[in-house]
Amino acid sequence: MRLYDVEIASRLLLGTAQYPSPDVLADAVRASGTGLVTVSLRRESAGQRAGQSFWSLIQDLGVRVLPNTAGCHSAREAVTTAQMAREVFGTDWIKLEVIGEQDTLAPDVFGLVEAARILSEDGFRVFPYTTEDLVAAERLLRAGCRVLMPWGAPIGSGRGLNNPFGLRAMRAHFPGVPLVVDAGIGLPSHAAAAMELGYDAVLLNSAVSQSGDPVAMAAAFRLAVEAGHAARLADPMEPRDMASPSTPVLGQAVL
Amino acid sequence: MQIVVNGEPRDVAATTLAAMLDELGYGGARLATALDGDFVPAGRRDAARLAEGCAVEILAPRQGG
């Protein structure tokens, strides 16, 4: 899979938040097989220096990082956060979040397009967290995005794919654009379903970190993403409303 | 002078962002800074003057989804 001309080995992108311990996070990242993890920026205390130890852990894992702008509610906040992330993480990749509504953490697509344009013009490679709205998607592409990341369901909800019809339409409408289902995935079956729809990858966090055994769940998601992608390539049969016998009717005995 | 660092009021003797980071014990850390809402790249911290009541944000890598 290529994202912004970079080959990414795994189609599973993993968040690094809310694991029981740094060791579990590291083991889950390895078990997932991911080559790209999301990270954030938060206030640093001079005494605790929590960010420094976290950064050491990520570096030891040898994976690429995708910094986010989580918690930003305006284009201005998101742009400033992205600029700070570029310096700290040494990458021009940014998962762009501009949150518009607190209960659902739905993207503010107006602020998102504005921030995406500013950042793309400044040389960033923008991964926008958006909805399945085709108009917003088209505007994001015009703003310079070369990847789109529609939500499956609200962040952290674990609801899976709320609108598979909309996601299918998005896949059909943008056949050449890398599409990543980001947020709302709760089960490996949700991830497999996204891949079967033809999505290029899935990005998830809570489904692994909030499970009873994050390392085992990371491995389960690895298998599900591979299975879903393989199924897509194998061209699934068309569903039908009525039964169709699979065992030959011809030659059946009359008893 | 009194300024606000990461949301907390602090009294500092430093008059530049770079000197303030040293004074507060951030020396050598991997971090990014903003002054009154604007990003200040590491190379410009020496020239970034602090003013009474200004707001500094000091951010570092953290877990994220």
Give the per-residue pLDDT at A76: 97
Question: Using the beta-carbon criterion (under 8 Å), do A87 and B41 form an inter-chain contact?
Answer: yes
- A13 confidence band (pLDDT: 50, 70, 90): very high
Question: What are the sequence ranges of the domains in chain B?
Answer: 2-59
Distance separating alpha carbons of residues A217 and A84, to the nearest angstrom: 33
Q: pLDDT tier at A53 (50, 70, 90 boundaries)?
A: very high
Suggest the residue from A87, A105, A119 to mutate for an interface test with chain B (most B CBs closer than 10 A): A87
* pLDDT band at A47; cut points 50, 70, 90: confident
When the pLDDT of each residue in chain A is averaged and rounded to a whole number, the result is 97
Confidence of residue A3 (pLDDT cuts 50, 70, 90): very high
CB-based contact A99:A106 (threshold 8 Å): yes
Sort out which chain B residues have CB atoms less than 8 A from A68's CB and list them. 64-65
- The 3-class secondary structure across chain A, one letter per residue, is CEECCEECCCCEEEECCCCCCHHHHHHHHHHHCCCEEEEEEEECCCCCCHHHHHHHHHHHHCCEEEEECCCCCCHHHHHHHHHHHHHHHCCCEEEECCEEECCCCEECHHHHHHHHHHHHHCCCEEEEEECCCHHHHHHHHHCCCCCEEECCCCCCCCCCCCCHHHHHHHHHHCCCCCEEEECCCCCHHHHHHHHHCCCCEEEECHHHHCCCCHHHHHHHHHHHHHHHHHHHHCCCCCCCCCCCCCCCCCCCCCC
Identify the closest residue of chain A to B56 by CA–CA distance. Answer: A43
Average the pLDDT over A176-182 and give the result.
Answer: 97
B43-63 pLDDT tens trace: 999 999 999 999 999 999 999
The CATH code that applies to domain B2-59 is 3.10.20.30
Q: What is the pLDDT of residue A73?
A: 97
Marked catalytic residue, from A86, A95, A117, A222: A95
Tens digit of pLDDT for each residue in A83-111? 999 999 999 999 999 999 999 999 999 99
pLDDT at A181: 98
Sheet with strand A149-150: strands edge to edge? A93-96, A125-130, A149-150
**What's B16's DSSP letter?**
B
Nearest residue on chain B to A13, alpha-carbon basis: B65
Distance between CA atoms of B13 and A14, rounded to whole angstroms? Answer: 43
Measure in Å the smallest separation between the Cα of B2 and chain A Cα atoms. 18
To the nearest whole percent, how much of chain A has pLDDT over 90?
Answer: 98
The alpha-carbon gap from B61 to the nearest alpha carbon of chain A, in Å, equals 5
List % helix, strand, coil for chain B (3-state, nearest 5).
15, 40, 45
CB A118 within 8 A of CB A75: yes
**pTM of this structure:** 0.94
Q: Residue A41 is nearest to which of B29, B62, B65, comparing CB atoms?
A: B62
Chain B environment of A38 (Cβ under 8 Å): 64-65
Averaged pLDDT, A218-226: 98
pLDDT of residue A183: 95
Q: Does the structure show a pLDDT above 90 at A147?
A: yes
CA B59, CA B31: separation in Å to the nearest integer? 5
Residue A235 a catalytic site member: no
pLDDT of B28 reads: 87
Average pLDDT over every residue of A31-49: 95
Taken as a whole, chain B contains a residue count of: 65
What is the pLDDT, as a whole number, of residue A148? Answer: 98
The shortest CB-CB distance from A43 to any of B6, B63, B64 is to B6
Alpha-carbon gap, residue A47 to A177, rounded angstroms: 45
Over residues A243-252, mean pLDDT:
92
Is the Cβ pair B38, A58 closer than 8 Å?
Answer: no
Residue with tokens 């950042």: A119
Q: What is the mean pLDDT of residues A12-18?
A: 98
Four-residue CA torsion sign, B55, B60, B62, B64: positive
Give the separation between CA A224 and CA A255, rounded to whole angstroms.
Answer: 45
Rounded distance between C-alpha atoms, residue B37 and residue A194, angstroms: 38
- How confident is the model at residue A104, as a pLDDT? 94
Cα separation, B6 vs A45, whole angstroms: 9
Other C-beta atoms closer than 10 Å to the C-beta of A124 total 24
* Shortest CA gap B54–chain A (Å): 17
Helix (H, G, I), strand (E, B) or coil at B45: coil
Nearest residue in A to B29, CA atom: A52
Chain-chain contact of A206 with B65 (C-beta, under 8 angstroms): yes
In the 8-state DSSP scheme, what is residue B15? Answer: S
> Does the structure's ipTM exceed the value 0.90?
yes
- State which residue of chain B sits closest to A15, comparing Cα positions: B65
Residue A2 has pLDDT above 90, yes or no: yes
Q: Please give the mean pLDDT across all residues of chain B.
A: 96
Q: Which of B26, B42, B65 sits opposite A205 (nearest CB)?
A: B65
Query: Least CB-CB distance to A16: which of B25, B29, B64?
Result: B64
Q: Which residues of B25-61 are buried (b: 16+ CB within 10 A; e: fewer)?
A: ebeeebbbbbbeeebbeeeebeebebeeebebbbbbb
- Contact with chain A for residue B9, Cβ under 8 A: no
CB contact under 8 A, B63 and A54: yes
Mean pLDDT computed over A219-248:
96
